Chain A
């Protein structure tokens, strides 16, 4: 399973990588903003799962999610962000996000949300 981690913080991407590696996922690609993510999608294959930050330079996560959804309605997307207000969560879900993780998060919480998302969507883990 190919998983794309989109966050402008390399520290957060490394934390996410550690969690995913412990869950047995090793096919991981990284992008520092929405533009870089879209370029990677255009030049390689569509990932099987996205972890997407909201506040990023060049293109924010919400815009990225909307762009991904114009290409693919099914691929699971988890928003991992400091944006915790209900209005933001609703906005993200309307844009096509499948699950939501609020920073700060523990490794256990992130792992559970990933498993929960994949199980709910019937994606082979």
Chain B
């Protein structure tokens, strides 16, 4: 993945959190994800397709996720509420959608969100589409955004890359 592609995602994270949650986000140093990297409690996942293949994953510790989802939805939520997963998925959708408008020259489509809730799960990257991790923090806690994206020329290649491995 071209490291230059990370800037649109950092801009999108800042924009979404400021606009929808009135929260300022600070970033740690982006790093390449290894299979041993952290586990999560709540993840919103958006698939990327079209001229690229990959995924955008927004992962939170449970406490941060509950605070952020509640603020976003404007009501008090727990991780057992249907609206909790909906809010996390929509945040991931907004980040991916907002970033793709600044990825010039690439026709990218985004999937509807999937949300995984489970303590200690990992969303592993494939060897062919490595991911970058963007560590983020705000007044409601820390979270990470993982971005894996690769240009594709052949539809067959895209199909092979669709799989996102999930371990709980």
Contact = CB atoms under 8 A, between A and B. Distances in A.
Interface of A: 8-12, 14-15, 18, 55-57, 81-85, 102-106
Given A9-B93, A11-B87, A55-B93, A103 B98 contact: yes
A11 B94 contact: no
Contacts of B90: 9, 11-12
Contacts, number: 55
Contacts of A84: 97-98, 101
24 contacts: A9-B86, A10-B86, A11-B72, A11-B73, A11-B86, A11-B87, A12-B90, A14-B73, A81-B97, A82-B93, A82-B94, A82-B97, A82-B98, A82-B110, A84-B97, A84-B98, A84-B101, A102-B98, A103-B93, A103-B97, A104-B16, A104-B19, A104-B20, A104-B94
Contact of B83 (A10, A56, A85, A105): A10
Contact of A103 (B89, B94, B112): B94
Across the A-B interface, give the 5 residue pairs with the lowest CB-CB distance, nearest first: A82-B97, A84-B101, A104-B19, A9-B90, A11-B87
Interface string B68-81: 00001111000000
B19 A18 contact: no
Contacts of A15: 74
B5 to A, nearest CB: 16
Contacts of B93: 9, 55, 82, 103
B110 A105 contact: no
A57 B110 CA distance: 12
Interface in B103-162: 110-112
B97 A9 contact: no
Interface residues of B, number: 24
A104 B98 contact: yes
Given A11-B72, A11-B86, A14-B73, 5 more contacts: A8-B112, A9-B89, A10-B82, A82-B98, A104-B16
Contact of B101 (A8, A56, A85): A85
A105 B100 CA distance: 16
B96 interface: yes
B64 interface: no
Nearest to A106: B19
A67 B72 CA distance: 32
B16 to A, nearest CB: 5
Nearest to B103: A85
Interface in B40-81: 72-75
Contacts of A12: 90
Contacts of B19: 104-106
A12 B93 CA distance: 11
Most-contacted residue by chain A among B83, B90, B98 (CB, 10 A)? B90
